Amino acid sequence: MKFDEVNETCNKLLDTIGNYFVGERLLLQKVLAAALANGHVLFEDNPGLGKTLLAKAFAKATGCDYKRIQFTPDLMPADIVGTKVWKSEKETLTLEKGPVFTHILLADEINRSPPKVQSALLECMAERQVTIEGETHKLESPFLVLATQNPIEMEGTYPLPEAQMDRFLIKLSTGYVRTLELEAEILKRRAGWRRDDPVDLIPSVTNNQSFQALQETIEKDVYVDEQIFTYISKIVRATRENSYVEVGSSPRGGLSLSKITKANAAINGRDYVVPDDVKLYAKDVLTHRIMLRMEYAFEKNITSAKIVEDILSKTEVPTQVTRR
């Protein structure tokens, strides 16, 4: 794929999703950037804010195969990865593949299942492979998890294990729409669908192959100056040196930030990363990787998000970034 086509295709994808999901284009852009960087996305927000709709609309617009798992308290790991079943007519054990064998997996209300079940997703997300009864199977490419969760304070939820959080490239919140007009727009759109779920109405802009071609072009063609790497590294290290923080960002946090900034540059038609790309994503990429010290965990004015903002305001921004 030519680099010029990337920007055009991205705009079409964003327009298409925006025809169904009412919200800020920047939010959609962030989801797309994460997916183009081959990263998993976690949406966290109260029920009814359009998380499931956004995940479905995104999957449908990309034209990739997708499957959905509704996480419940009694879900089993085999319901996610699959299992071997005895076929009496063939007298053999055959693999019944679980929903992870797809391109985009919608993991809905992921924190309603206990950690053991959430962990079944762990190997899939990090290794892009799955082991079922001793046999390892490669997952499809691309393989992206779009997960949703309710805020952890809500009843009947199990917080995701730390190791699992780190595997999401980005954590986003859909939030309420800003204005009265947009609130009414949600109602108008809904009336136009004449059904609850508009997924069948949404056209596909790309497909498995062309989406992967987008990812590969970005990986290959977007240039990152040495100073950008230094800038990201400074930010990531500062999360570990902060006195409120028990565990700071892993190197995976820094890698994630550098990957997503490349995708963001390409969405904006640039084949080089600028410091503003880093600033735009640092909070969404790093906040969920930071664990506060116990004594600050419940203090309202000390949050991981504020710590990242503070780090950004204090970290020297490179001024002489080259374009290649």
Ligand X SMILES: Nc1ncnc2c1ncn2[C@@H]1O[C@H](COP(=O)(O)OP(=O)(O)O)[C@@H](O)[C@H]1O
Nearer to Mg ion, 107 or 286 (CB): 107
Q: 257: closest CA among 34, 105, 61?
A: 34
- The residue from 16, 29, 52, 239 that contacts Mg ion (CB under 5 A) is 52
**Token pair belonging to 248:** 């700071």
Nearer to Mg ion, 48 or 134 (CB): 48
273: partner contacted, choices ligand X, Mg ion, none (Cβ within 5-8 A by kind): none
The reply on whether position 21 binds ligand X by CB under 6 A is yes
Q: Which residues between 182 and 241 bind ligand X (CB under 6 A)?
A: 186, 189-190, 196
Nearer to ligand X, 153 or 196 (CB): 196
Provide the 3-class DSSP secondary structure of residue 246.
Answer: strand
- The residue from 9, 52, 258, 304 that contacts ligand X (CB under 6 A) is 52
Q: 62: closest CA among 260, 210, 215?
A: 210
Q: What is the DSSP string of 93-109?
A: EEEEE-TTSSSEEEEET
186: partner contacted, choices ligand X, Mg ion, none (Cβ within 5-8 A by kind): ligand X
Query: Cis (ω within 30 of 0) for the bond into 99?
Result: no
Measured from the Cβ of residue 318, the count of other Cβ atoms closer than 10 Å reads 18
Query: Which span (45-53, 168-176, 265-273, 279-287) binds Mg ion, by CB under 5 A?
Result: 45-53
Map tokens 């997924």 to a residue.
199
Map tokens 């290649």 to a residue.
324
Query: Which span (18-26, 60-68, 285-293, 303-311) binds ligand X, by CB under 6 A?
Result: 18-26
Residues 111, 149 contacting (CB under 8 angstroms): yes
What does the DSSP 8-state code read for residue 300?
Answer: T
| Cα distance between residue 130 and residue 123, in whole Å | 6
Strand ranges in the chain using DSSP code E only, listed in sequence order: 40-44, 66-70, 82-87, 92-97, 104-108, 129-132, 135-138, 144-149, 168-172, 245-247, 291-292
How many positions of this chain bind ligand X (CB under 6 A)?
16
Query: Which span (41-49, 120-128, 135-143, 229-237) binds ligand X, by CB under 6 A?
Result: 41-49
The reply on whether position 48 binds ligand X by CB under 6 A is yes
Residues 311, 238 contacting (CB under 8 angstroms): yes
The reply on whether position 49 binds ligand X by CB under 6 A is yes
Contact map string, positions 131 to 160, toward ligand X, x by CB under 6 A? -----------------x------------
The reply on whether position 150 binds Mg ion by CB under 5 A is no
Q: Which residue is nearest to ligand X (CB)?
A: 50
50: partner contacted, choices ligand X, Mg ion, none (Cβ within 5-8 A by kind): ligand X
Residues 218, 40 contacting (CB under 8 angstroms): no
| Cα distance between residue 291 and residue 308, in whole Å | 12
- The residue from 14, 23, 169, 260 that contacts ligand X (CB under 6 A) is 23
- The residue from 22, 124, 125, 311 that contacts ligand X (CB under 6 A) is 22
Q: Which residue ranges make up the site for Mg ion (CB under 5 A)?
A: 52
Q: Which residue ranges make up the site for ligand X (CB under 6 A)?
A: 21-23, 47-53, 148, 177, 186, 189-190, 196
